[in-house]
Amino acid sequence: MKTLKKTKEEINYESRKETTFFSPKFLTKKHHIFIVSAIIIAILSIGGYFYYNYSAKQMRTEKENDLQGITTLKSNQLVQWQKERIADAKMITDSRFFANGIEEWLNNRDIKQLNTDILEQLQSAITNYDYEDIFLVSVQGELFLSSKPNLKEIDDVTKAKITHITNKNDLTFTDLYFCPGHNTIHYDIIAPVKNNESTVIAYLVFRINPYKFLYPFIQTWPLPSESAEMLLVRKDVDSVLFLNELRHQKNTALQLRIPLTRKDLPATQAILGKTGIFDGKDYRGIEVIACLAHVPNTDWFLVSKVDKSEIFTEINSRGIIVSIIIILLILSLTIGIVWIYHFRQKNIYKNLWQTQEEYRTILYSIGDAVITADISGRITNMNKVAESLTGWKEAKAIGKKLINVFNIINEETRAIAEDPVTKVLKSGHIVGLANHTVLISKNGTEHQIADSAAPIRNENGEIKGVVLVFSNVTDKYAAQKQLKESEERFNLAMQASNDGLFDWNLETNEIYYSPG
């Protein structure tokens, strides 16, 4: 048989359960609260630190992926651009009709129609493929024809480029070079024109203006950034030569050179053969994260870079947000723990508040009119139905004597009816309103009402107030009154006529006989 008394082990278990970590009893001691707070702050701080590091690594990885993607894209587009230029040049120079026309014109330059036809083809190529100029030169670099009438001879630099071609039978890129004669940068494609015996009889030089497409293309950055830029560089003896105009420094194309001894320079590392992500300093001495790549079939190297400060600004912004969140969490939890410390002292007030809220909810949900008053007869609550019938708003009625708001009289005598609060306090029981009770609202409207008043008792049975529940029975009362009057008139009429009347209900077998 199970004993009703608790064993010693059960008592000890319940005692330990009550003092469990985070239990209300455990948190009633100040040093326990300090321990819990310190542990929570440590957990949040360590968690925030690791989250910040994780976010920083993730954001850096995202930026590195962006750099690698942009570098690969630009490199592929440069390769494709060169292939298209090669295809343009070969389509013209490989044409037997064009090559035969050149050979015929070289043998007899007095044929003006041939001269015109050749120039028209050159001009057509410029229009279709957006070249700056196309001109025909001899294998020694002497100018024969040009799409630009004002070009009478070519400069020594261009001539040297043509005469020093390693393989005279293949199409050649001159790379970007500065032309003192035109005081600008050229990029030429030199394509051999061959006769039927595959002997080179002349060269077509397709001149490209790098400021028109190449430089803007390199400088364009597909993502919003304040510091990011793309560099096109190549090796020049013992230096890094910058081929394009830079974002943060002007007049740099083929002008800016930095020694290869600058090993912290991403461009230097690119020329030395490194590819992929590299942390270093750019030409301004600013710390950057860069992606390095070689452009296939060229001496060019691409360096896409972004300032570290820009990346860390985003990281630090996220760190500030994380710090604010952690601080708010710490403050919230600290306040929560302090609240738990005062839990027992405030528990009674909380229960009272909850009870009051439940009471108010029930009160305002009742379909009948409800008014509550304290033992002194002053109104404490009033629902919407009661507001409608009395004409008083709850906010203005609270604190007023019930008799000033709940103005009731006897319909027949017009005498003031007895205050239900007084009746309840006297009897201590539920009391009903007398018949023929009329409620006069604030604006003078009269309502026939019915129902009762009851005492409000505390847990000790003491009366602490009165609740009055009533409803508008004006329509019902009027209908009953009209029916009664109708019956009275009918009876009078029957008595006056001396006629007899009976009513036989076949279902119930009940029979009614009039007095006659």
Determine which of 114-128, 152-166, 426-440, 486-500 has the lowest per-residue pLDDT on average.
486-500
What does the pLDDT read at residue 52? Answer: 75
Q: What pLDDT does 349 receive?
A: 59
Residue 23 has pLDDT above 60, yes or no: no
Q: Determine the average pLDDT of the residues in 50-56.
A: 78
If we measure between CA atoms, which residue out of 470, 450, 466, 454 comes closest to residue 386? 470
Contacts of residue 372, defined as CB under 8 A and 6 or more positions apart, other chains included, come to 363, 379, 380, 381, 382, 456, 465, 466, 467, 468
Q: What is the pLDDT of residue 235?
A: 94
Q: Flag whether pLDDT at 129 surpasses 60.
A: yes
Per-residue model confidence (pLDDT) at position 497: 63
Report how far residue 293's alpha carbon sits from residue 72's, in angstroms, rounded to the nearest whole number.
Answer: 8
Q: What pLDDT was estimated at residue 142?
A: 87
Q: Tell me what pLDDT residue 18 has.
A: 47
For the segment 403-414, the average pLDDT, to the nearest whole number, is 86
Q: Give the residue among 273, 243, 248, 247 at the shortest CA–CA distance from 258.
A: 243
Residue 17: per-residue pLDDT: 47
Rounded to the nearest 5 percent, the helix, strand and coil shares of the chain are: 45, 25, 30
User: pLDDT tens digits for 60-107?
Assistant: 888 889 999 999 999 999 999 989 988 888 888 888 888 888 888 888
- Band the pLDDT of 114: cuts 50, 70, 90: confident
Q: Which residues contact 190 (CB under 8 A, 6 or more apart)?
A: 161, 162, 165, 171, 172, 173, 174, 203, 204, 205, 206
pLDDT tens figures, 352-378? 666 666 767 777 777 788 989 998 889
Mean pLDDT in residue range 306-327? 80
- In this predicted structure, the answer to whether residue 5 has a pLDDT above a threshold of 70 is no
pLDDT in tens, 168-179: 778 888 889 888
Checking if the pLDDT of 6 tops 50, the result is no
* Structural contact between residues 196 and 233, judged by C-beta atoms closer than 8 angstroms: no
Class of domain 81-208: alpha beta
Burial zone of 182 (CB within 10 Å; 0-12 exposed, 13-18 middle, 19+ buried): middle
3-class DSSP assignment, residue 191: strand
State what percent of residues in the chain have pLDDT above 70: 82
pLDDT at 3 > cutoff 50: no
Instruction: Please say whether the beta carbons of 425 and 463 come within 8 A.
Output: yes
Two tokens, residue 20: 């469990």
* Residue-wise pLDDT tens digits, 226-262: 889 999 999 999 999 999 989 888 888 999 999 999 9
CA distance 342 to 354: 17
Q: Break the chain into its structural domains and give their ranges.
A: 81-208, 214-311, 365-472, 484-513
For residues 321 and 234, give the distance between their C-alpha atoms in angstroms, rounded to a whole number.
43
Residue for token digits 């035109």? 182
The pLDDT, as a whole number, for residue 257 is 93
CB burial of 493-514 (b: ≥16 within 10 Å; e: otherwise) equals eeeeeeeeeeeeeeeeeeeeee
Quote the pTM value.
Answer: 0.55
**Residue 98: Cβ within 10 Å count:** 18
Instruction: Give per-residue pLDDT as tens, 425-457.
Output: 888 888 887 677 888 888 988 888 877 888 988
- Of 182, 185, 180, nearest to 244 by C-alpha is 185
In CATH terms, the superfamily for domain 365-472 is: PAS domain (3.30.450.20)
Q: Per-residue confidence at 11, pLDDT binned at 50, 70, 90?
A: very low
What average pLDDT score do residues 276-304 get? 93
Angle subtended at Cα 288 by Cα 282 and Cα 290, rounded to the nearest 5 degrees: 90
pLDDT value of residue 109: 82
pLDDT score recorded for residue 167: 67
pLDDT given at position 8: 46
Which pLDDT does position 294 carry in this prediction?
95
Q: What is the pLDDT of residue 4?
A: 38
CA atoms within 13 A on the CB side of 46: 6
Chosen CATH of 214-311 out of 3.30.1400, 1.20.1070, 3.30.530, 3.30.450: 3.30.450
Q: How high is the pLDDT of residue 344?
A: 60
pLDDT tier for residue 459 given thresholds of 50, 70 and 90: confident
Nearest CA among 324, 306, 174 for reference residue 229: 306
Q: CB-based burial of residue 8 (10 Å sphere; 0-12 exposed, 13-18 middle, 19+ buried)?
A: exposed
pLDDT grade, residue 288 (50/70/90)?
very high
* pLDDT-above-90 percentage for the chain: 20
CA distance 467 to 370: 7
**Contact in structure between 382 and 370 (CB atoms under 8 Å):** yes
Query: N- to C-terminal Cα distance for the chain?
Result: 83
- Least reliable range by pLDDT among 10-14, 130-134, 248-252, 333-337: 10-14
Average predicted confidence (pLDDT) for the chain:
82
How many C-alpha atoms does 195 have within 13 Å on its Cβ side? 11
DSSP string for residues in 227-245: S-EEEEEEEETTEEEE-S-
pLDDT score, position 72: 93
Residue 242 pLDDT: 94
User: Which amino acid, one-letter code, is at 189?
Assistant: I
